[in-house]
Chain A
C-alpha cells in the first residue's frame, strides 16, 4: 500500500513515500505526512475547521474538524478508534478509513455539537460585524450547524472593542479562541505581542494590559472610541500612551519596546486576516464596508522590493482595504503592516489631478503654479527641455518607485529624446562603486536567489536589517531557521530584535568597517567568522542597498562571494529599483545590463530603438546630476517620484531644483513640485497596470485596480517625447511589453567588477561617534502618509549608543542624547546597546530624526554626540 513518488511540495529531488487510504469510500493517495483534512480537500471534501491553518502548526484546539476513523491493526483488521479524531492533526496512514460528516452520523453529530458550543457564547452580531459575509464561523454555522440553539442561559460578555494597538482592535466576545492569531505571532512573526490570557471560560486573547486583566491599579480599559480627523485613534486607553505620557525610562524590550512604546508588531495585520471571526479588526477598516459591496483586484504591493501579492478591495473607486494574496512563491499568505495598511498616500489631499505650469513673474522670477491643459503643459515642458538639451544638457531622475514599464520609458527618453546618459533612479545614497556592482553582478542576471532559497540556505546579511528593510524576507528566514534548514549571519553594528528572532550570528561591524569584516570571514581565530565561512560555502549573501555608503564594501562582497562560492542577491528597499537597474535608468547601463561604454551594446540597442546612435558620453549619477544642475552645468531636470529629503544631500537637491528648469512627474505635490516649472500628474500604482520586479528579479505584473484618468509615467513620457520630436513608441503597455520582449539578452561583457580599496575607518574623537543609520519599516516616509492607525504602531525613534559611548558622554537608557553635525542636531532618548565602541545609531527618517535633512551625512560619518542639555526635548 505504500508506494513512492516525487512530491511537489517537498524539496526538489526528495522522494516522499505515498500513503493510500480511504475517505468517505474514496481511495486517496497522498504524500506521507499529509493531514487528513488536507487529503480530504484534494478530493473536494470540505471538513469544517477553525483553528486549522495550512501555514501554522496543527493545534487541534477548536475540535470542529472531527471525523470518524478506523485503522488496521497488526493483522490488518480494521479497528474503529474509540473517539472521533481531529482531522487537522491526524496524519494519513496506510489503510486508514475515514468517515467525514458526509458519511458518518458520529462525525456529523460531533461537528454539530462543537458548532453549538462555539456559538453559545458568540454574540451572533453578524449584521454589525465587519466579518459578516466573509466569516468562516457564519458560513460553517450555516453548513454544519444546528438551526437553533438550546442555550438559554447567560452569555459571556466583555467591554469592547479593546485597542490591542492603535491599529488592531479586539472584540473579545466574538473570539472563538482558535488561537490562530497567537500562533501566528509566535510561530511566524516571532513577536508575541498578544497571547492567551486568563483561563477556561474566561480565557481571552490579549496583550499584557493591566486594566483588561484586572491588575491592581490597572487604570481604564483601552477601549477604542474612534478616530480624530487625521485618522489618529482616540481611546480611553492607559496602554496607548502618547509620547508625552511615556514612562520615564524604557522598561526593556520585553515590556514595552525599547523606547517605552507599547509593543507592537510589524506583522500584526495578518492576525486580522486569519481571524476566522470578526474578533480582530483593523481600526482603519472597521465599519467602513461590507464584503459584498467590495470589488477585489489582485495586485502587488508597492512598498518594498518583495513584490508581495495583495488583494485590493475597493468600492466605487475608493480602496477600502488591502489583504495578503496567497502566493506561495513570494509572500505566502503574509504581509507587512506597511503593505497592508499604507495605501491612503495614493489618494492624499495633495494628490495632483491636472498639469501645472509655473509662469514667470513680471520681474522674471518664478511665480505661482497654475493649472494648465495637458497640451500646454507638455508644450512648455518640451520647449524647456529642448532648449536645455541643445545647450548644457538635461538630467533625468526617475526615482526608485516606478514600474519597469515606466522606468524603461525614462531610460529611453534620456538616451533618445534627450540624448544623454545623465539618468539615475537612485534617489538615495549611492556610489560609483555601487553602479559598477549593479552593472557587474545584478543587471541582466535573471533570477538566481529566490525566497524559497532563504528557507534552506546559510544566509549572510550585509547592510540589510531583515525585519526593517526586508519584511517578507525576514519571515522566510525565520521559517527556515525554525525548521533548522537556514542559518543566518549578519554583518551589522548590533543584534536587533529582528536578528535575534532569526537566531542570527552577529559579525559585529562599526559603520565603515564592513569590508574589513567581510574579508575576515573565514578567520580561524574567531569562531563566528570561521563558522560563517564554513556555512556560507554554497550559501547566499544578501546585500542591502545602503552598503553603497561604505567605500569598498561592495567590492569586498564580490570577493567574498567568489571566495566562498556563495550566491549573491542585492536587496534594494524600493519596489522599482531592481526593475530599473534592469531597464537602464543608471548612467552607465542600458537595458539588459548593456554597458554604455560598450560600443556594440550601444549599436545593438540603437538598432532596436531605431535611432542612429546612442550617446556615448558616460553619464553622471544622481549626485553628479544635481551638482551639475546646481552649478548651471545642466539646465533642466526631468524628475519622477523623488523626495529631496531621501537624497544624500537634500540641500544640494533643493539648490539644483531651484536653478534648473524642472519637469516633474508626480502623484502628489512634493518639495519638487514647489520648485517645478512644469508638473505632470501621474497615476499611483492602484490606478495603472504595470510590473514590479522583486529583488530576486521576478517580474510581478499587476492590473489596474481602479478606473482612473491618471496616466502612467510611460504614457506621459511618450507624449513628451513626441513634442520633442521623438517617437518613443511607448504609448501603450502593449508597445512597452512588445519592445521589452523583443530585446535580446545581452551576450557581451558585463560592466567591470568594482575594486575599491577600503579606507581606514573613521576615528571619532572626543565627543564624537561614528553614525550608523537605516530606515525602520514604519517611519515618516511619505508613502505612509494619512494612516495614523499604522503610524501609532511604529517604533518610537531612539538613539542607540554603544555602552562605551554612553559611559563616555554620561547617558543611560532613556536619557536624551543629541547627535549633531555642523548642520544641525537630533535629540532622541538613548538606548544603550551592545555595539562596537564609538557607534551611535539613528533611524534615517523617523519623526524627529530626519538624518539627511538635519545632519546632511549618512552612515559612516563622524558625528558629535552629547547628553542633551534641554531635558527631554525631542526634535
Chain B
C-alpha cells in the first residue's frame, strides 16, 4: 500500500486537522469530508488515502472502505479532470437525457464511469440532481449545465477536452477541475461563491408570474417589508 511523500503527507495532515476540528469531540464525522480531501489530492480515493483516513481517525481500513464504497461520489479509479454526469433518471431521461447520453458515449467512445484517454473527461450517468425544472441536465464537476441537447453536450465535452473554460448555467464563472471541486467539498471555500446568478429562469417563473399578476402572500401588497396584519387576500382556497 503506497503512502504519501513527506510533503504531501504534511499538507494532508494540516488540512485534515482543520476538517477534524469542525466536529469537536466527534472526529469520525470528518470521514466524508476527509475522503473528499483525499480525492482533491489523488483524484480518487486511493488505497493510500484510505490508510490516511483510517490512521487519522483511528479506524480500521475496512471501516473506511466501507464508507468510501457506499457513496457514489467517491471514485476508485483516477478520475478525469472533469466528471461529466448526464442525468438519466426518469424525468431527464425522457426529456432527452437518454439521447444526450447516447450521443456522448458515441462521441467520446467511452461508457459509464470511464475516462477519455486524454484524462479530460470521465463520463457518468447520474441520478436526479434536483434540477428537474431545467431538464435535461448535465453536471460537470457538480456544476449545473441546464437544458442540454445532444449538440450542446458534445460542444461541452469538446471544450473540456480542448482545455477551454466552460461556463455552468448556474455556478462559478467557469468549471474548476475535479480535484479543486473536491477540495471545496472537503469544506475549503475557493472564493467563487459570488460568481454566477442567484437563480435561473425556471426557479423564478412563479415569482415572475406573481409579480405580473400582483399576487402576494396575505397582507403583503405594497409593503416591501411584508405584511403588517393577516389581511386574507386571494391565497386561501375558496371552496367551490
Contact = CB atoms under 8 A, between A and B. Distances in A.
A touching B, CB within 8 angstroms: yes
B150 interface: no
B90 interface: no
A193 B62 contact: yes
Given A198-B70, A254-B58, A214 B64 contact: no
A197 B51 CA distance: 16
Contact of A207 (B44, B62, B71): B62
A255 B51 contact: yes
A199 B69 contact: yes
A252 B65 contact: no
Contacts of B45: 215
B60 A215 contact: no
A159 interface: no
Contacts of A253: 55, 58
A254 B55 CA distance: 6
B65 A191 contact: no
B76 interface: yes
A197 B1 CA distance: 19
B60 A191 contact: yes
Contact of B76 (A191, A193, A216, A254): A216
B74 to A, nearest CB: 11
B73 interface: no
A216 B65 contact: no
Given A197-B69, A199-B70, A192 B62 contact: yes
Contacts of B69: 197-199, 213
A263 B61 contact: yes
Contacts of B50: 208, 255
B47 interface: yes
Interface in A232-275: 247, 249, 251-256, 263
B60 A193 contact: yes
A206 interface: yes
A87 to B, nearest CB: 28
Contacts of B71: 199
Interface string B1-32: 10100000000000000000000000000000
A213 B55 contact: no
A194 interface: yes
Nearest to B64: A208
B98 to A, nearest CB: 22
Contact of A247 (B1, B54, B55): B1
Most buried by B among A192, A196, A251: A251
B34 to A, nearest CB: 13
A208 B65 contact: yes
Contacts of A195: 60, 62-63, 65-66
Taking residues whose C-beta sits less than 8 angstroms from the other chain, chain A's interface range is 20 to 34
Contact of B66 (A197, A214, A263): A197
A193 B77 CA distance: 24
Taking residues whose C-beta sits less than 8 angstroms from the other chain, chain B's interface range is 20 to 34
A218 interface: yes
Interface in B129-143: none
Contacts of A215: 45-47, 76-77
B218 interface: no
A192 B66 CA distance: 11
A214 B69 CA distance: 10
B162 to A, nearest CB: 26
A196 B69 CA distance: 9
Contacts of A199: 69-71
A196 B62 CA distance: 8
A298 interface: no
A216 B1 contact: no
Contacts of A208: 47, 50, 60-62, 64-65
Contacts of A291: none
Contact of B55 (A192, A197, A251): A251
Contact of A210 (B47, B54, B57): B47
Most buried by B among A216, A249, A263: A216
Contacts of B61: 207-208, 254-256, 263
Given A198-B69, A215-B76, A255 B63 contact: no
B217 interface: no
B59 interface: yes
B111 interface: no
Interface in B95-146: none
B78 interface: yes
A197 B69 CA distance: 6
Contact of A216 (B3, B57, B78): B78
B13 to A, nearest CB: 13
A247 to B, nearest CB: 6
A108 B62 CA distance: 37
Contact of B47 (A198, A218, A249, A263): A218
Contacts of B64: 208, 254
Nearest to A203: B70
Interface in B145-169: none
Contacts of B3: 249, 251
Contacts of A217: 47
Given A193-B60, A251-B1, A213 B65 contact: yes
Contacts of B1: 210, 247, 251, 255-256
Given A213-B76, A216-B46, A254-B59, A196 B54 contact: no
A748 B59 CA distance: 55
Nearest to A164: B62
Nearest to A239: B1
Contacts of A255: 1, 50-51, 54-55, 61
Nearest to B71: A199
Contacts of A207: 61-62, 65
Contacts of B66: 195-197
A192 B60 CA distance: 6
A355 to B, nearest CB: 51
Interface in A379-423: none
Contact of A214 (B46, B58, B70, B76): B76
Nearest to B58: A254
Contacts of B58: 253-254
Nearest to A214: B76
A27 B55 CA distance: 53
Nearest to A212: B65
A715 B33 CA distance: 68
A481 to B, nearest CB: 17
A197 B78 contact: no
Contacts of B46: 215-216
Contacts of A249: 3
A215 B64 CA distance: 13
Contacts of B44: 216
A508 B1 CA distance: 33
Interface in A174-228: 191-199, 206-208, 210, 213-218
Contact of A252 (B47, B55, B63, B78): B55
A193 to B, nearest CB: 6
8 contacts: A194-B62, A195-B66, A206-B65, A208-B60, A213-B69, A249-B3, A253-B55, A253-B58
Given A216-B78, A255-B1, 16 more contacts: A193-B60, A195-B62, A195-B63, A197-B62, A197-B69, A198-B69, A207-B61, A208-B50, A215-B77, A216-B44, A217-B47, A249-B3, A251-B1, A252-B51, A252-B54, A255-B50
- State the 8 A-B residue pairs at the shortest beta-carbon distance, nearest first: A254-B54, A208-B61, A195-B66, A208-B65, A255-B51, A252-B55, A195-B62, A207-B62
